Structure 1
Amino acid sequence: MSNRLAIACRDQAVHCDRLGSPFMVKLMGLLADNSATHPALRSWENQFSGDISPAGISLPLRIAGGLQYLVVARKSTALAACYPPNEVPDAALWDAVDTALISNPEFWNAWLENAPQTNEVRRSVALIAAAHYLAAQTTLPFHLSELGASAGLNLMFDQFSMQAGPNSFGDASSVHLTPDWIGTPPEARSIKVASRRGVDLNPLDSQDPETQLRLLAYLWADQPERATLTKAAIAIQNASVDQGDAIEWLESRLSAPFDGLHLIYHTIAWQYFPETAQAKGASLIESSGESATADRPLAWLRMENDGSSPGAALTLRLWPGDLTVQLGRVDFHGRWMDWQAPQTLDWIR
C-alpha cells in the first residue's frame, strides 16, 4: 500500500522549491521520510480520504501551517528555536517537529479540519496591473466582487503601490509590491473604487488577533517579507467579506447592475469550486454580460492554474462584446509577472 502522505509531501516539496522556500523543502522531506512510522502522521493520513495532495485538501500544508502557528503564537519555544532565521541540523529540526506533532492532540484535531488560507498579498500585482489596464478603457468607477476572498486583504489592492519595470502604480503605501516584470507594463491611470465586497466559505476577520496568527501561520518561515506585507495589509483592511457559497453570493450580487464597471475576480480559488459550481458561475456571469452596456460594463478577471507552467494564467473577459484578453502569466505568489496584454484594446472607449 502506498504511503499517500509521503507522496503528497514530496509533491508539495517540488512546489515549495519552485516558490523559493528551502526551509519548506526540508520540512516536507522530513515529514515524508517519517510519515510511515510516526503515529500522528499515520493517523492523519488515515483520517482523510480522497486526495490529500496540493491539488486536493493539501494535508502537508495543513500540517506545516499548524507547526508554524505554534511558532508565531509562541506556543512552542523548542520548535521556534529550530525555525528560521535559526539554522539547525535536520535531526534537531525533526526532534522539535516530532515533539510538536504528538503534543496537544486537541489542537491538531481542530487545526487540521480547516483548509489553508494564505490570502497572499503579492497576488495583487495581477489585480493592480489589470485594473490600470481597464482604467485605460473607461473612467467609470469600479465595483469590486472577489470570490474566495479569505480575509479580504486583496480587496484593498487599489490602496497598495507597485513598481512594475519603469512604471509606478498607486500612491505611497505601506504595502509596496516589487514583482520582477517581463514585458511592457500598462500605463498608470486614475482608479476610483466605489464599492468593494467579497465572499468566502470561511471568511477570516483580519482585525481579530487570533485570526491574524492564523494568516501568518500559512506564510513560510524563511520568507519573512510575506509576513511583513500581510501585516501591513491587515492594518489598512476595511472591506467586508461575507460568509457563504461563492456562486449563490455572486448570483445575488449580479441581480442588480452597478452604476459603473463591475469587476469580478478570483486568484487561485476557482479550482477549489465543484465543477457544477464553476459551470453555474460562468453561466451567471455570461448571462449578466449579455445585458452589460458601455455605462454599466462587466469584467471577469481570473488568476488561475491552467495546468501550464510557469505560474498561473491571467485572463480578462469583458462585456459588452464578450471580449477575451490574455493578459499574461503570473507567479502563484506574485513574485513575477510576464505581461503579454495588447497595448491597445478596442472595447468601450
Structure 2
Amino acid sequence: MTDGPDTGTQERARAIFRGQVEACLMLGSPFTALFCELMAERLDDTSDFGRRALGWQGDPRTDALALRAAGAFNALARSGRAPELQALYPPAKAGPEALWRGLSAALAGHDRFLTAYLDSAPQTNEVKRCAALLGGALVVARETGLPLELLEIGASAGLNLGFERYRYELGLGRWGEEAAPVVIRSEWRGAPPPLEAGLSVVARRACDLNPLDPSKPADRARVLSYIWPDQADRLRVTEAAFDAAALMPWRVERADAAAWVEARLSEDAPAGRTRMLMHTIMWQYMPDETKQRIASAMARAGAAATRERPLAWLRMEPDGTSGSAAVTLTCWPDGGERDLGRADYHGRWVEWR
C-alpha cells in the first residue's frame, strides 16, 4: 500500500466537505449536509476512495470534490446494489452513527465503484433555473419583437434548452400551456416579468464538454445521482424534464465552449430573429482564457448586430454575493448590460429588479 495523502492535502479536502455542509443547509438539504459532515470528520485513507478524495489532485473546490463524493454514494444507493445503504437514504431519517456505519460498509463492499465515480464532475442540469431564463427571454422578446435562436453552453443533458415548452407557476402569475410536460414552481419576488410578451423559439443548439443524452438510462441516472436525495421536488421536476427532452429532436453537442461560441457566431445571422447565448452556473468552472474568448466573440458579434439581427447574452451566474446568483442581460445593438435580478442557485426563487 502506498503512503496516504499528506496532512495539508487532507485538511484542504476536509475543509471543502465542511464548507459544503453550510451550503447544503442553506439550500435545504440536511441529509447531504450530514453526509458531508461525516466525510469531513471520519473519512480516512484506508480505502481507495478515501485516498483519492483526501489526496485530491487539483483544486477540490473548483472540482466540486464534496459533490462528486455525495453523488457517488447516492448513485450506489439508487442503483439497488447496496440495499443496506439504500435503506438509510431518504425518505429514511438515519442518524449520524447509523449513516456512517452504512457509508463505511459501502466503502468496504463497493470501493472500486465509488472511487471511479469521482472521475466525473457533477452535472445536475437544474431545471428550476429555467424560471430565471424565462424572465430574461421574455424581456428580450418584448424589446425586440422577434423570435429567438437559442445557444446554450454548459448545457449538460439539454434539459433547460426547451424552457419555453414548460409551464411556470410563479406565485404572482402563470405562464405556459396547461398540458406542458414539466411544471416549474418558483417563488417570484419583486416585479413580474413581462408574462404577456410573445415568446417563440425558432432554433436551438447547445454544447457541453461532457454532453449527456436524455434518452440514455445511464446518463439519466448520473444526473439524478447528483440531486440531493432529500429534495423530492428537484427529483420530480428533473425526471419530468428528462422524459420531455428524450422525445425532442435536439441533442447537446460535445465541444469546448469558446470554440463552439466562436463557430456559431461566425455563422450568418438570419434577419428577423434574435440570437441569444445563455448559460447558468457554469462560468466559474471555465478557464479565464475560455471566458475571455467567449466575451470577445460576443463583443465582436454585438458590434455587427442590427435591429433586424439583434444579439442577446443572458446568464445566471455567481458574482460573489453569498446565497444567490446574478441574472444579467446584455443586448446588442444597444450593447447595454442590465442587472435583471437574482436567483437561488437551484431556482427555488427569483428576485426581479
What is the match of residue 223 of structure 1? Answer: 231
Distance of 1:170 and 1:258 partners within structure 2: 28
Counterpart of 1:128?
134
Distance 1:118 1:315 in 2: 21
Map of 2:168 onto structure 1: 162
Question: What is the aligned partner in structure 1 of residue 82 from structure 2?
Answer: 76
Aligned partner letter, 2:350: M
The residue number in structure 1 matching 2:301 is 288
Q: Tell me the equivalent position of 1:241.
A: 252
Q: Does 1:232 align with 2:240?
A: yes
Q: Distance in 1 between matches of 2:12 and 2:46?
A: 14
The alpha-carbon deviation at position 250 of structure 1 amounts to 0.7
Deviation at 1:88, TM superposition (A): 2.2
Deviation at 1:240, TM superposition (A): 2.0
1:22 is matched with which residue?
30
In structure 1, what residue type is equivalent to 2:142?
A
Where in structure 1 are there 5+ consecutive unaligned residues? 341-349
Instruction: Name 1:35's counterpart in structure 2.
Output: 43
Matched, 1:50 2:65: no
Counterpart of 2:93 (choices 53, 63, 87) is: 87
Q: 1:180: how far off?
A: 1.4
Q: 2:20 aligns with which of 9, 12, 24?
A: 12
Q: TM-score, normalised by structure 1?
A: 0.93
Q: Which amino acid aligns with 2:95?
A: P
Shift of residue 107 of structure 1? 1.7
Specify the alignment match of 1:274 in structure 2. Answer: 287
Stretch moving more, 85-94 or 318-327: 85-94
In structure 2, what residue type is equivalent to 1:122? K
Secondary structure of the residue aligned to 1:280 is helix
Q: CA deviation at 1:58?
A: 1.1
The alpha-carbon deviation at position 50 of structure 1 amounts to: 2.8
Q: Secondary structure at the match of 1:101?
A: helix
Residue matched to 1:107? 113
> Please, which of 152, 175, 178 is the counterpart of residue 182 of structure 2?
175
What SS is found at the alignment partner of 1:136? helix
Q: Distance in 1 between matches of 2:89 and 2:222?
A: 17
Q: TM-score, normalised by structure 2?
A: 0.92
Measure how far apart 1:35 and its partner are. 2.4
Aligned equivalent of 2:312: 299
Aligned position for 2:340: 327
Q: Does 1:315 align with 2:302?
A: no
**Cα distance change on mapping 1:309 and 1:89 into 2, 3 Å:** closer
Query: Which residue, out of 189, 194, 197, partners 1:187?
Result: 194
How many residue pairs match? The answer is 338
Is the aligned partner of 1:208 residue 2:208? no
Q: By how many angstroms is 1:147 displaced?
A: 0.6
Give the whole-Å Cα distance in 1 for the aligned partners of 2:76 and 2:114: 11
Task: Please state how far the C-alpha of 1:244 moved relative to its aligned partner.
Answer: 1.1
Contact 1:292 1:319 in 2 (8 A): yes
Larger deviation: 278-287 or 4-13?
Answer: 4-13
**Distance in 2 (alpha carbons) for counterparts of 1:155 and 1:215:** 16
CA deviations over 1:215-272 (Å, ceiling 9, x no partner): 1100101001111111111111122210010110111100123321011011001111
Matched, 1:256 2:267: yes
* Aligned partner (choices 336, 339, 346) of residue 352 of structure 2: 339
Distance in 1 between the 2:323 and 2:164 partners? 26
Distance 1:70 1:220 in 2: 13
Counterpart of 1:347? none
RMSD: 1.4
In the alignment, is residue 197 of structure 1 matched against residue 205 of structure 2? yes
Query: Displacement of 1:51 after TM fit?
Result: 1.6
Q: Tell me, which stretches of 5 or more residues in structure 2 are unaligned? A: 1-6
1:196 corresponds to which letter in structure 2? R
**TM-fit CA distance, 1:41:** 4.8
Q: Secondary structure at 1:82's aligned position in 2?
A: coil
